[in-house]
Amino acid sequence: MKKAVAFISSTESEDSIKLLFLFEGDLGRKLKEMGYEIVDASVDAMAFADEVKERGIDEILLVAVKSRGREPGFYLYKPQKIRADNYTLAKLATATLTGYLDVDALLEGLPAFAPELLDKITVLECEPPCGDWERAILEALGEVK
């Protein structure tokens, strides 16, 4: 089973920008050594779906920063499946196709291009300010010893 850690890095917040440096640095190297693929999900839903399919990835931890007014910290969840007609799916995909780099835009856009991917994704989301990303990711992956 091929596993990956995907991340969304955007200019929305300093914590989000840090993700790029974490995954291109020591944390990315460590995860690769542990057998995980690293996927930059800072793209539209269609490009993300193509990348995941091309690599044959079976399981994805999607890492993102999102301010929702919660207590600061890390939140782990499975994305909800969206059941809608084609018109609604096209509307939901608009944000991701216009370049909006956001976990909600990506997850809402996926059903239009690859609805089966939602079953493969678990989201690790940080409500800023973010703390120890490495520990949170390793815990989410079940890799903490």
- What is the DSSP annotation of 16-28? HHHHHHHHHTHHH
Per-residue pLDDT, 31:
97
Is 106 a domain residue?
A: yes
Is 13 a domain residue?
A: yes
- Residues with Cβ within 8 Å of 25's Cβ and at least 6 positions away in sequence, in order, are none
Is 12 a domain residue?
A: yes
Is 145 a domain residue?
A: no
Per-residue pLDDT, 144:
57
Arithmetic mean of pLDDT, 87-106: 78
Domain count for the chain: 1
Is 28 a domain residue?
A: yes
- What is the DSSP annotation of 57-122? --EEEEEEE---SS-SEEEEEPPPP----HHHHHHHHHHHHTT---HHHHHHHHHHH-GGGGGGEE
Query: Reduced to 3 states, what is the DSSP secondary structure of residue 140?
Result: helix
Mean per-residue pLDDT of the chain = 90
Arithmetic mean of pLDDT, 16-42: 95
Is 18 a domain residue?
A: yes
Is 23 a domain residue?
A: yes
Per-residue pLDDT, 86:
74
Model's pTM, two decimal places? 0.91
Contact (Cβ atoms closer than 8 angstroms) between residue 93 and residue 49: no
The enclosing domain of 89 has a CATH number of 3.40.50
Give the pLDDT confidence of 39-62 residue by residue, as tens digits.
999 998 899 999 999 999 999 999
Asked if pLDDT for residue 94 goes beyond 90, the answer is: no
- CA–CA distance from 10 to each of 46, 117, 120 (Å)? 18, 22, 23
Is 105 a domain residue?
A: yes
Query: Reduced to 3 states, what is the DSSP secondary structure of residue 12?
Result: coil
Domain of residue 128: give its range.
3-140
